[in-house]
Structure 1
Amino acid sequence: MESLDLSDADIIVSSSHAFAKGVLTTAEQLHISYIHSPMRYAWDLHFQYLRDYGLDTGIKGHLARWMFHRLRLWDRQTANNVDLFLANSDHVRQRIWRTYRRPARVLYPPVKVEKFGLQREKDDYYVSVSRLVSYKRMDLIVEAFRAMPGRKLVVIGDGPQMRSLQAHCPPNVTLMGWQTDEVVREYLANARAFVFAAHEDFGISPVEAQACGTPVIAYGVGGSAETVRDVRQLPEPTGLLFPQQTAASLMEAVEDFERLSGRISPDACRQWAEGFSEARFKREFSALVEEAWVCWKNDPQTLEQKMLGSGP
C-alpha cells in the first residue's frame, strides 16, 4: 500500500479491512477511509487465530506474536494518515474508537437486494449460508440442530471446517458445500428462517435473507443487532436475536421463533432490507464525500469535528 503513488488525486477513498488505509498521502489530499473492520487477526480475534493455525506455542508461535506486535504498531500509526473514518456499522465504529481512538461516521454497506425476490410462502427448513471458518460458528448451529432432530437445517458454503462438520453431521442437517448464486437465492427465499451465529461486523447474508422475505435468527451481538429487528422488542420485526453464542441459546431462540413467527411479515422483512440497498449507499456516500470535501477546503483541521464531533 505504501508503494502506491496517489499524488495526483485530490480525494483518496480507501476501503479497508486491513491494509488499504495505510496509503501515503500529502497535506493537500483528503483521505477518507471506509473501515469494514480493524484487522481482526491482530486485535479482537488475535488469540483465536493463533490457535486455529497452530501458532500459539513453540518457535513459530513466538515469531507470529512478534510479527503481529509489529503489525499492530503499523496499523495504529497509519491511522494518522486518515482524515475521516467511516464505519460499516455502529459495532465497527466502536471498534475503531477502541483500536485507534478516533471517531467514525456509520455508513452501512451496499447490499444487492434487487437480486433477491420476495417469497411469501415458505418451506419447512432452516438455512445458513456462510464460509465454514471457525469464527462463523457453524459448528454451534449444527450442534444445536443435532439436539432438535425434528427440524431440518440446510448449510450452504465451504471452508476449512467442512471435513469436521461432515464427520459429525446429524441426519437432519444437509451440508451442500459451495453453490451458485441461483441456488443460494432459491434456498434463502424458501427457508422458514435464516440462522446466523457469528459475531460479525455487519453481515451481508442476513440482509439478503430478509430481502427474500425470510426472517433471521441471529446471535444478537455485532452487526446483527443492527440489521435484524427482534420480534420481542421492536415493531415491524424481521427476526429474533439470541443473547449467548451457545447451542442452548440458539435452541431456545428457535423455540421462541416458532412460537412468535406469526408476528413477522415477509413484506416487513423485504421493506427493512431495502434500507440497505445499493441505491441508498450511493446516495449517502456521494453526499458524505461532498460534505467532507467542502469542510476540508474550508478548514482541514476542523473536518473531523464538523463531520463527527470529537468523541466515540
Structure 2
Amino acid sequence: MKVAIVHEWLDSYAGSERVVEQLLHLWPDADLFTVVDFLPERERGFLGGRVPRTSFIQRLPFARKHFRKFLGLMPLAVEQFDLAGYDLVLSSNHAVAKGVITGPGQLHVSYVHSPMRYAWDLQHQYLKQAGLERGLLGAYTRWQLHRLRHWDRSSAVGVDSIVANSGYIAERIRKAWGRDAAVIHPPVDLDRFTFGEAREDFYLIAARMVPYKRVDLVAEAFRAMPEKRLVVCGDGPSLPQVRAAAQGAPNIAFLGHVSQAELVRLVRTARAFVYAAEEDFGIGMVEAQACGTPLIAYGRGGARDILRPETGVLFPEQTAQSLQEAVRRFQALSLAIRPEACRENALRFSVPAFRTRFRDHVEALLRERVPA
C-alpha cells in the first residue's frame, strides 16, 4: 500500500508537526508533501532524513520569510500535488492540506487541528488585530477570506474521514463544514513531565503572554486574593498588560521565561495549575496532569475533554470573579483530588494512546473498503 502524508507547511517543530511525526512513525514508508519546507536543520530530526515534496510556492520570491502571505495561492498549490498513485492519503490540516485531490479508489483521512479560524468565526477579531477593518487592503482581505471560506467548505466534501483533535474542534468542523468528525486527541510527550506528590502552597500559570491566553484575568483574580500565592511563567507582547492587572500585588511572582527543567519542577510542586484560555486542545493542561497536578481551567474548548471531576475544577465564565469562585471550590475539594488520578487521566493523551487510536481508525476504514 502506497501512503502519502500531506502537511501545510514546515517552518518549526510545534504541535501539528508532532502529529506528522507520529504519522511517519506509523507509516514509515510514506511520502511527505508540504506547501513549503523552511524547517531549520536543528529541528528536522523527526523527518528521519526525508525530503518533503513542496509546491510552487517554495520557489516564489520572498517565500522563505513571507510564505503565509501567499495563503490565497495555497488552495491552488495543494491541488497541484499528484497523488494518483497512492492508496491512502493522510492530511494534517489547519489551513489547506485537506484540499488535495483524491479519486474514488483512494482513502483520504484528514486529521484536523482546526478549521481556518481567521476565515470563520474569528475573522472579525483577526481583521481588528491586523488593522484591516477599513480601507482598500481591508476590503481585499475580506474578499480573500470570503473565497477561502467557500473553498474550505467545498474541499471538505472530498475527505472520506475527518478526525478532530478535540470535541471542541469537532463542533467547529460541524459548524463550518457541515461534517461529523471522529475525535482522537493529539499525542502529548509525557516522559518529561514526571509524577510528583510533594506540593507547595502556590498556584501556577505558565503561558505565552498573548491576549487570548488571558493571563491578565488570572493576575486580576489573584490580586483580589492576597492570601493565595500565584507564580506566573512566560513572556510575550502582553506581559505589560498582565503586570498592570497584577498592580504590583506582593502575592504574585513573575518569573519570565524559565528553563524546561525549572518549569517541570514548578508544575510538579504547584498546588494547582491555572488555565484561563479557550484552547482548541491545550497540551499544557495535559502536561500538568501528568505531573499529578490538579487543574483550575476555563470550561470551554479542549479543557472539557481533558479535565475530569476528580482531577480539577472548571470555571464557567472568562472573568476574574468566576475564577475566584473556582479557586474556592478547589480548596474545598482539594483533599479529594488525588495526584495519582491526575497522572492516570493524562495517560489517555500519551503518544502510544494516539498511535493505537489513529492506526485502529484508519485500519477500520480500510477494512470497510475491501469488497466482500
Counterpart position of 2:289: 210
CA spacing shift, 1:46–1:176, aligned 2, 3 Å: farther
Give the Cα separation in 1 of the matches to 2:289 and 2:146: 40
Specify which structure has the bigger relative contact order, considering alpha-carbon pairs within 8 angstroms and separated by 6 or more residues: 1
**2:193–2:291 Cα contact (<8 Å) kept:** yes
Correspondence 1:1-312 to 2 at 5 A: 1-169=78-246, 170-171=248-249, 172-230=251-309, 237-298=310-371
Q: Secondary structure at the match of 2:119?
A: coil
1:84-107 Cα deviation digits (max 9, x unpaired): 001111221121111111111111
Give, in angstroms, the shift of residue 205 of structure 1.
0.8
TM-score with structure 1 setting the length: 0.88
TM-score with structure 2 setting the length: 0.74
Give the Cα separation in 2 of the matches to 1:183 and 1:222: 28
Q: What amino acid maps onto 1:69 in structure 2?
A: H
Give the Cα separation in 1 of the matches to 2:97 and 2:232: 33
Q: What amino acid maps onto 2:185 in structure 1?
A: Y
Q: Secondary structure at the match of 1:132?
A: coil
Give the Cα separation in 1 of the matches to 2:308 and 2:131: 38
Structure 1, 62-71 or 285-294: larger mean CA deviation: 62-71
Q: Secondary structure at the match of 1:15?
A: strand
1:17-66 Cα deviation digits (max 9, x unpaired): 22221222233221100111111122122222222222223333323222
Structure 2 residue runs of 5 or longer lacking an equivalent are 1-77
1:125-153 Cα deviation digits (max 9, x unpaired): 11112222222212211221222222222
Q: What amino acid maps onto 1:138 in structure 2?
A: V
Identical residues among aligned pairs (%): 48
**2:217–2:245 Cα contact (<8 Å) kept:** no
**2:216–2:245 Cα contact (<8 Å) kept:** no
Q: How many residues align?
A: 293
C-alpha RMSD of the superposition: 1.8
Q: What amino acid maps onto 1:277 in structure 2?
A: S
1:253-309 Cα deviation digits (max 9, x unpaired): 11111121111000110111111111111111111111111213449xxxxxxxxxx
Q: What amino acid maps onto 1:68 in structure 2?
A: L
Structure 1 residue runs of 5 or longer lacking an equivalent are 231-236, 300-312
Give, in angstroms, the shift of residue 168 of structure 1.
4.5
**2:198–2:269 Cα contact (<8 Å) kept:** yes
Give, in angstroms, the shift of residue 165 of structure 1.
2.5
CA spacing shift, 1:298–1:146, aligned 2, 3 Å: farther
